Structure 1
């Protein structure tokens, strides 16, 4: 961070650090009462009279952050007038801005607590080097070495690899229809699903070179408990966990639906139909955009003032577009384009695992469908030339004419 200026600024800028000279230190000792504590790192950014300092706590592998340790560092930061404590681990919070570890909120009155997952650190490094750029060639090489190190299996910077110890029990209870909202582990599975979606966003964003984020409502961002409760409720009632992913310039958020009863993952995009043209014209407009998509893609159409829609596989719609038109008298308002993928059952990663099946479904649907869809826009009105204007000589001369000269009362029209 200190050696590659652009990378350091990318990480600490959103936390409120001034855009100045960055200094970094490791294992700086501090006295807390009668005991000595050693935060893993310290970051200081200075610009003019402004100074911003943060303590850093790091965990690698499967090691998890400890509340007591973080609270100690929050106390040290408060005593020394530091602005923040930053934790880095493989724990992925369900949404940006949330922390995976619960601490005493009273200790956050004067010091902020932030968290970076190792996946987020790698993502920011790749995006800085490959997409935003590094001005100095030597610094670019250093950042490349950091990426190469963190991506090595032995670095301790792991990806999302486990749905937790409660996954199997919850999955079996969903299949048998016996799951209840207060059962042990249901809330943990819901939280891990949101963390998996957050990991998928970081992974997809790294490949696209842009920021991909979970699509959450303001209420869910303000109160994560609401989001968890909604996931648990859908899991109990329908055996389904749903999430939305916001991708810049995509026609809509990508809806991800993990159906534990049907053992499938459904990913879909919604797109508004053109506002002009016949129903068949609107269907053909969509088909042209999906000319390279797999035949197994499912297409649904929704008509105005109708609660139900028509659905067919893309291979059928290509041959007979009218299959998506249930009532020719009703205007088609929107479409939904979906892909259905098999869902893995294992809690970890690898062949037949839930985590890998969800990641593959998200990447596959965006590649096959999402990146091909573009919103409809009306063509701008076109000026007509005088050669295009037709004058009907069979009508009386005093009837209105489309010719430009008819707009001027002082000009007489002579018809031979």
Structure 2
């Protein structure tokens, strides 16, 4: 038998998964075991929840009694540091299975009764914002017990970034974390990528195209929530490749009031037919803005960059062109003039390469900033693959970052040059002061004497 057909032994095998229940049990056990074995990874996951550093213990299917019935949360995590402990129950879903409100509320009751700190849920659901939970529960049950959520995409991205970019202190622990990554990336693990815009997508898209969509229409809330989930998934996906924390960009008001963001999206969808959002990438010149125009059937990515504060307008345009040497000619440039309102001068990069003056509306006015944009046809299907909305957004955002954003650097002024005091001046003017000054060039001793004599 050829060795190519042999299955290599794995720490966390995918063979033998017979159904959803076995899939969830294996995923729970694998994840929690790795968290106890790889402190760097568990710390990366738990620190954002406000959990102090300490020894991590984990258990699966811990039994509890609640109102005369036996219930079994999928797992339990305990972090100990000295006499202090942080304990959370864990509920896990894989595949397309969604979290259940009634089940979560029962676990919250158990956590309160036992004096535990939190309930941690894990599923393929991606909430619109980090502060939101994908499942609604009775808020009264959250007075003494916190509820947190991890998506499998977040777990996989954090594991990859930790292993490949931040590093794991122990080589054997790095191998263990690599086995978890290998397992979660396997289709049979149940840890899925974001792959569906929801059952209301087609209906809402058609209504927007016909200009009959209204912000209070059924299905609108689900579509804008899934669009924000797509932005979070795009951030995790890009961050996994860059090895850094890429996050959706939200205003302070949107972070403080989670209801504000969907209202803004629904209003724009009704009036303009667009879905918009932005991604923050550390050390990039600006956010990566994403706009999906459902009426025009087009997705656009853009970023803004300040122009140099010195030089003629054409010098500033050339400064930008040099940074876009790897960008396609189809990139659209827009130049905004100082002390002006409204839209700026717009041209395609290919034309501006041939004639930079095309971006200059008035040679006597300074250019204050540029907008660089790249557009592509928008997919219409709700799932994943060719011709889908999700892939058209992901593909364009990746291409825009690779060809444009990662190559842009902000302008900085050159430091002032030291004046060379040894440079000779050809002749001292007849009206020069008899007293020597720093504004005068160096004089030969005889010339100084002659000048003094006069």
Q: 1:181 aligns with which of 207, 212, 215?
A: 215
TM-score, normalised to structure 2's length? Answer: 0.88
3-state SS of paired residue (1:386) = coil
Query: How big is the alpha-carbon RMSD for the aligned residues of Structure 1 and Structure 2?
Result: 1.9
Distance 1:191 1:399, change over 3 A: farther
Q: 1:38 aligns with which of 72, 79, 87?
A: 72
Per-residue CA deviations over 1:36-69 (Å, capped at 9, x if unaligned) read: 1110000001011111101000000000001111
Give the distance between the partners of 2:246 and 2:140, measured in 1 at CA: 32
Distance 1:64 1:293, change over 3 A: same
Point out the structure with max Rg over C-alpha.
Answer: 2
Residue in 2 aligned with 1:194? 228
Work out whether 1:120 is the aligned partner of 2:154: yes
Offset, 1:18: 2.2
More displaced stretch, 22-31 vs 393-402: 393-402
Offset, 1:400: 8.6
Residue in 2 aligned with 1:145? 179
3-state SS of paired residue (1:220) = helix
Residues 297 and 314 of structure 1 are in contact (CA less than 8 Å); yes or no, is this contact kept in structure 2?
Answer: yes
Distance 1:387 1:172, change over 3 A: same
Per-residue CA deviations over 1:50-91 (Å, capped at 9, x if unaligned) read: 111010000000000011111111111111111111000000
Residue in 2 aligned with 1:279? 313
Give the distance between the partners of 1:271 and 1:414, measured in 2 at CA: 57
More displaced stretch, 10-19 vs 195-204: 10-19
Residue in 2 aligned with 1:226? 260
Q: 1:29 aligns with which of 63, 72, 78?
A: 63
Residue in 1 aligned with 2:11? none
What are the residue-to-residue correspondences of 1:57-68 with 2, within 5 Å?
A: 57-68=91-102
Residues 283 and 324 of structure 1 are in contact (CA less than 8 Å); yes or no, is this contact kept in structure 2?
Answer: yes
Distance 1:10 1:413, change over 3 A: same
Give the distance between the partners of 2:424 and 2:368, measured in 1 at CA: 34
Residue in 2 aligned with 1:288? 322
More displaced stretch, 102-111 vs 396-405: 396-405
Work out whether 1:347 is the aligned partner of 2:346: no
Distance 1:70 1:402, change over 3 A: farther
Distance 1:386 1:36, change over 3 A: same
TM-score, normalised to structure 1's length? Answer: 0.96
Residues 87 and 118 of structure 2 are in contact (CA less than 8 Å); yes or no, is this contact kept in structure 1?
Answer: yes
Q: 1:332 aligns with which of 367, 370, 373?
A: 367
What are the residue-to-residue correspondences of 1:251-400 with 2, within 5 Å?
A: 251-307=285-341, 308-388=343-423, 390=425, 392-398=427-433
Per-residue CA deviations over 1:142-174 (Å, capped at 9, x if unaligned) read: 110100010011110000000000110111111
Residues 89 and 120 of structure 2 are in contact (CA less than 8 Å); yes or no, is this contact kept in structure 1?
Answer: yes
Residues 390 and 402 of structure 1 are in contact (CA less than 8 Å); yes or no, is this contact kept in structure 2?
Answer: no
Query: Unaligned 5+ residue runs, structure 2?
Result: 1-34
Distance 1:328 1:405, change over 3 A: closer
Per-residue CA deviations over 1:73-123 (Å, capped at 9, x if unaligned) read: 111111111111100000001122221111111111111100000000001
Give the distance between the partners of 2:151 and 2:439, measured in 1 at CA: 68
3-state SS of paired residue (1:251) = coil
Query: Unaligned 5+ residue runs, structure 1?
Result: none
Give the distance between the partners of 1:125 and 1:180, measured in 2 at CA: 41
Offset, 1:391: 5.7
Give the distance between the partners of 1:103 and 1:391, measured in 2 at CA: 86
Offset, 1:130: 0.6
Give the distance between the partners of 1:414 and 1:5, measured in 2 at CA: 80
Give the distance between the partners of 2:218 and 2:62, measured in 1 at CA: 41
Residues 400 and 406 of structure 1 are in contact (CA less than 8 Å); yes or no, is this contact kept in structure 2?
Answer: no
